[in-house]
Homo-oligomer: A and B are copies of this chain.
Amino acid sequence: MNENILGLIAGALTSIASLPQVIKVFKTKNTDDLSALMLIILILGLSLWVWYGFKKDELPIILSNAFAAILNLILLFCKLSFKK
């Protein structure tokens, strides 16, 4: 497979992966089993990838990681709001 296409598919998958998790949390309103520390580290890492993308001027890196960061920010917000 062409490297660029491979990278695009890989990036698309790892970016949209959190979407079913967001939908699940919206449906169940349960976030007990989600690790807040995981979300925080992930958001930090994804934000650095966005910064990296800006420095390298690579739009796919910026967009895919920004999208994933937003999804995980939503999850963290739910985690903190739904706390019993």
A interface residues, Cβ below 8 angstroms from B: 3, 6-7, 9-21, 23-25, 28, 30-35, 37-39, 41-42, 44-46, 48-49, 51-52, 55-56
Contact = CB atoms under 8 A, between A and B. Distances in A.
A17 to B, nearest CB: 4
A38 B10 contact: no
- Each complex incorporates copies of this chain amounting to 2
A38 B56 contact: no
A34 B22 CA distance: 10
| Secondary structure dominating the interface of A | helix
A30 to B, nearest CB: 5
B33 A20 contact: no
Taking each of A14, A24, A51, which has the highest tally of chain B beta carbons within 10 Å of its own beta carbon? A14
